[in-house]
Amino acid sequence: MTGRPRILICDDEAQILRALRVILGDAGFEVVPANTVKEALDVVAVRPPEAAIIDLVLPDGDGVDVCRSIREWSEMPLLVLSAVGDERDKVRALDAGADDYVTKPFGMDELFARMRAALRHQFQAHGAWPVFQIGDLSVDLVHRLIKLRDAEVRLSPKEYDLLTLLVQHAGIFASINHLRGIAIDMRVPLFLMVGLLSRDGQQLPRMHDGS
């Protein structure tokens, strides 16, 4: 599989939608938002995503109904979010087909890790992975694995974030200010890093303090 994996986010809380769109988007996923049961089911009917994150309480119904409807025809990973931590609600969601359950408030790192794990199991079962391939460079978002001419490239977390941003926007101009959103605490000049990456496709320079 190539291209950005699509993740449906069904939640009526605007703040959570915005946060998930930014975090998952920066991680290389295409986020498709929905606010209601109807919108979520319309999305999966028109163009099914690779996975879905679904709030349990929605304006026009129950997130459990979304899980149950999707499970009738799809095995995509389903992760339920809820401010309700009652065990019975967790059991209802899991029995309806949810793969995991996260209680609000939640940590974004934990949520992302759970989604990566669910996707990893899904793609492993079907023998396909969300991998960007640009020339000799491949970026596996689920495994966080970078390869150049089939040789593994080891990057620091900041280097990985920057490379992911550039790869998922391949062919599109990215301003220095945009890149600084990731590299705000780097002392290495960004123009040097981007220049080296785009010129010969080699590993980004290691981080140093320039002293």
Predicted structure pTM score: 0.60
Last residue of a domain, one of 88, 111, 126: 126
Q: How far apart are the first and last CA of the chain?
A: 43
Residue 105 lies in a domain: yes
Q: Which residue range is the domain that position 193 belongs to?
A: 131-200
Residue 164 lies in a domain: yes
Averaged pLDDT, groups of 10, the chain, 211 residues long:
76 90 80 94 90 93 93 90 83 92 84 79 59 75 78 82 68 57 42 44 42 35
Residue 69 lies in a domain: yes
* pLDDT value of residue 176: 60
Domain count for the chain, please give it. Answer: 2
Instruction: Tell whether 110 and 142 lie within a shared domain.
Output: no
Instruction: Tell whether 107 and 141 lie within a shared domain.
Output: no
